[in-house]
Structure 1
Amino acid sequence: MASMALQLSLAAILLLLSKVSTVEAVAAWAVTDWGDAHATFYGGQDASGTMGGACGYGNLYSVGYGVSTAALSYAMFNKGLTCGACYELVCKLEGSKYCYPGKSITITATNSCPPGSEGGWCDPPKLHFDLSYPMFQKLAQPVGGVIPIKYKRVACAKSGGVRFTIHGNPYFNYILVHNVAGAGDVSALAIKGEKTGWYYMSQNWGQFWSASANVVGQALSFKITLGNGVSTEFSNVAPKDWKFGQTFEADNNFK
């Protein structure tokens, strides 16, 4: 009986360790429970310096993200695959006298905060959000400079459908995906002409995806898979007379 009890105890311990390992294995950019990080700000009081960036979105106002954005540290950027993800942030009152109590913000990841910047706060393995100035000042007094925060992934609320901006040439498709709701972060993209099958694209950089396929003169459909594994098709997004440089909006989005 004692031997049986010992075996059961060991089994319970192994199960517990397995669960702990599973929790610890969740990537920093994917946590849906509160995690610890720090935040700074960049881009000036008008956030003009936050335009462009490592996700490829360009003018953040024209693509709908505005100033509710952040650059993520190397440990969270995930080589651009976290672009488009949304996070809720709160300032830790017990960690800084500059925090505003009861305040929280929701931001979209639109840029990378590279190693060596912001005094090393973005160096691996640190978890860090470099916020636009307008968003930082909603959490804390800017004089605080660096603040401790709690953060977690949340669903992105976007207006309208997913948008696709088509670049490239007849033999090289170069697609920017933006205004993505739900999990927000695109992990895979496929393109299909009305006369072709699916061409699976490769991440080029940020949220630019590329594939060598001649689909000029064909109506285009797309298939997106998000970082959480949810996949949706967007049919006939671009008409057959589409041109390079144009942006097309799907009739649907993720939830």
Structure 2
Amino acid sequence: MELSFKHQLGLVCVILLFPALCYCQEYTKSRATFYSTSDGYGTPTGACGFGEYGRKMNWYGGRVAGVSGLWRNGAGCGTCYQVRCLVPELCDTNGAYLVATDQGYGDRTDFVMSPRAFLKLGRNEYSSEELKKYGTVDIEYKRVPCTYTGNVLFHIKETSTNPGYFALVILNVNGIHDVTAVELYQMGQWKSLNRNSGAVFDFPNPPSGEIRLRFRVSGMSDWVDPMIVIPSNWQPGNTYATKVQLK
């Protein structure tokens, strides 16, 4: 059966637009508040385990937040959201784009935002200062694709020891993906790392040589091969850039 030009054109449009449609999501009503820091950035002690990196989260410029229901036992770490407040005379129509880096609770809130993130809710500096007087504001939010710069990163946690104990966080995960599992190759087989807390995965007694990893993210059926190995002389605090960039 032949399709008319009109139907063919419609089919092409659906195919081209389908990836974008996958990101569509309705806004959810909730509430948000903020915490204080000396410079307006996030805190390096966030429960996700991102450390100093979690204060700014790449180009997000410190627009970070602690989340409650969105925490999901740490799977929500590093996920990105658009948050818009609902005070028409004060709130910007685009609101704030931010990253979940911590677990935080307020008065029936889903977001406890860094000062820099909360100030983005207002139309201008005056509006933002007025919103701060509310303390807690009504909002609507939705999850959006993360747009970090650069490839996926493996950061070796400072609590690691070589040899003896290996812990890492995976950073710069673009798109709408949760890191759901990490595996390490040892003695001819893949072995699972344990989600220790937040975004931290660990493995006791890792191999003494190079460390080969792979990880799985939601929305993708196959394991992600980073196309690098962690060198045998790795040290706590080291960060290694993979050769993959997710979308």
Q: TM-score, normalised by structure 2?
A: 0.75
Match of 1:176 in 2: 169
Moved over 3 A (4+): 227-231
Tell me by how many angstroms 1:109 deviates: 0.4
The number of residue pairs the alignment matches comes to: 211
CA 1:71–1:98: 2 relative to 1, 3 Å: farther
Partner secondary structure for residue 254 of structure 1 = coil
CA distance in 2, matches of 1:238, 1:206: 22
The one-letter code of the counterpart of 1:51 is P
Match of 1:144 among 134, 146, 149: 134
Letter in 2 for 1:246: N
Task: Name the one with the larger strand percent.
Answer: 1
Gaps of 5+ in 1: 1-29, 123-127
Check if 1:90 corresponds to 2:87. Answer: no
Letter in 1 for 2:78: G
Please, which moves more after superposition, 34-43 or 168-177?
168-177
Distance 1:179 1:34 in 2: 24
1:203 to 174, 188, 195: 195
Q: Deviations over 1:150-169 (max 9, x none)?
A: 11111111111111122423
SS of corresponding position for 1:235: coil
CA distance in 2, matches of 1:98, 1:148: 13
Percent same amino acid at aligned positions?
A: 27
CA–CA separation in structure 2 for the residues paired with 1:146 and 1:158: 28
Cα separation, 2, equivalents of 1:161 and 1:237: 15
Shift of 1:228: 3.5
Aligned to 1:232, what secondary structure does the other structure show?
coil
Shift of 1:233: 1.4
1:33 Cα offset (Å): 2.1
- Please state how far the C-alpha of 1:172 moved relative to its aligned partner: 2.7
* Equivalent in 163, 188, 213 of residue 153 of structure 2: 163
Alignment of 1:114-125 (within 5 A): 114=105, 118=106, 120-122=107-109
Question: 1:171 offset after TM fit, Å?
Answer: 3.5
Query: Does residue 1:249 correspond to 2:233, yes or no?
Result: no
Normalising by structure 1, we get a TM-score of 0.73
Contact 2:228 2:243 (8 Å CA) reproduced: no
The answer as to 2:124 corresponding to 1:130 is: no
Deviation, structure 1 residue 184: 4.5
User: Matched residues in 1 for 2:94 and 2:57: separation?
Assistant: 26
**Counterparts of 2:32 and 2:89, CA distance in 1:** 12
Call closer, same or farther: CA 1:63–1:144 in 2, change over 3 Å.
closer
Distance 1:102 1:226 in 2: 31
User: Corresponding residue for 2:126?
Assistant: none
In structure 1, distance between residues paired with 2:56 and 2:63? 13
Q: Deviation digits for residues 136-179 of structure 1, max 9, x if unmatched?
A: 11213322221111111111111111111224232432112222
